[in-house]
Amino acid sequence: MLGAAYVLRAAGDTSAHTDGPLAWLSYVSPIGWAQQIHPYAQNRWWLGAVILAVTALLVVVAVSLAVRRDVGAGLLPDRPGPADGSLGSPLALAWRLHRGLLIAWTIGFALLGLLFGGVAKGVGDLMRDDPSIQEMFRRMGGAAGLIDSFLAGVMTLVGLIASAYAVQATLRLRVEESSGRAEPVLATATSRWQWAASHLVFSLLGPAVALLAAGLTQGLAYGAAIGDVGGQLPRMVAAALAQLPAVWVLAAIAIAIIGFFPQASMVSWAGPAVCILIGLVSAGVATAGWIRDISPFTHLPSLPGGTAEAGPLVLLLAIAAVIGLAGLFGLRHRDLPA
């Protein structure tokens, strides 16, 4: 919901600045309501009253639903499973557990690419009139043209969001362990390596699928807008997939935390949070180089428009492999709660 509110506000505001047809999207987002108050301009105080009223209404609805349902259950009954199980491998079980998350994130990324690709053409006019916006997007990524700068900055943002998905999928390992569901799986001939690998397939390849969806839809939307789908589609897909090495570094850090410090597994969220903070701050103000270098996303090529060098990508992949294997080694040798 937070991601949807942000995307709607961003798409609506961008469309409004470029006289596009999607300006109304800003008013669908609660973030848009708060920003449309403009306390030092129009001072639309009544939007604050709308926010308070909607909040109060949702609290009443939430409380009424909570007191009506059984503890530990929902208002809608669970569907009974089949009498005979059909899961024949740890990977099949992991697919059953991860498929909803993968589908939801992929659809979200596809919509994200569609929205940003659709407004990219109009962004060029906006950026040409405002040097501060030009400088912000150049800092976020990209150098070959203003629209390429915007698209490269968008891809960095998409990569940061993908890292959150990677961490969420990786933490499924800890959820299965702490809930006791890992024990009956490991009581079979399944090794810890096989069990962990079945989940890590989705924490590593899941973001790749989501980023591919974002690249495809952004390339299609932007290419259709300028009449060059064949030229823009491969550029957008390459720009999206170039985010993967940095995403995998943060997933590997989560693996290492689960392997060596399972009680502190929630600290894994600090990785995406720090990278997002560095990305947003460095986009708006001049930031020391060593601070920017903390984020693996700083070392990625600025695509589309920039030059892709293999060295930084290979180094990030090597770092991810070393940290991830170390985490798996820790998981292999520590106790798991029964």
Taking the model in full, what pTM does it have? 0.80
User: Tokens 């040409």 appear where?
Assistant: 128
Structure confidence at residue 18 (pLDDT): 67
Cβ atoms within 10 A of the Cβ of 121, count?
Answer: 16
- Residue 322: partners with Cβ closer than 8 Å, 6 or more residues away: 252
**Phi-psi region for residue 130, left (φ > 0), alpha (ψ -120 to 50) or beta?**
beta
**Nearest-10 Cα torsion for 241, 247, 252, 257:** -160
Phi-psi group of 287: left, alpha or beta (phi > 0 → left; psi -120 to 50 → alpha; rest → beta): beta
> Is-contact 326 271, C-beta < 8 A?
no
By 3-state DSSP, what share of the chain in percent is helix, strand and coil, each rounded to 5? 75, 0, 25
Q: What is the pLDDT of residues 271-292, one digit of tens each?
A: 999 998 888 887 667 677 788 8
**CA pair distance 178, 195, nearest whole angstrom:** 14
pLDDT at residue 61, as a whole number: 96
Residue 27 pLDDT greater than 70, yes or no: yes
Percent of the chain with pLDDT over 70: 92
Q: How confident is the model at residue 162 (pLDDT cuts 50, 70, 90)?
A: very high
Please choose, from the candidates 202, 183, 201, the residue with its C-alpha nearest in 3D space to the C-alpha of residue 192: 183
Kindly report, residue by residue over 203-253, the tens digit of the pLDDT: 999 999 999 999 999 999 899 888 888 889 999 999 999 999 999 999 999
Tens-place pLDDT, residues 290-299: 888 899 998 8
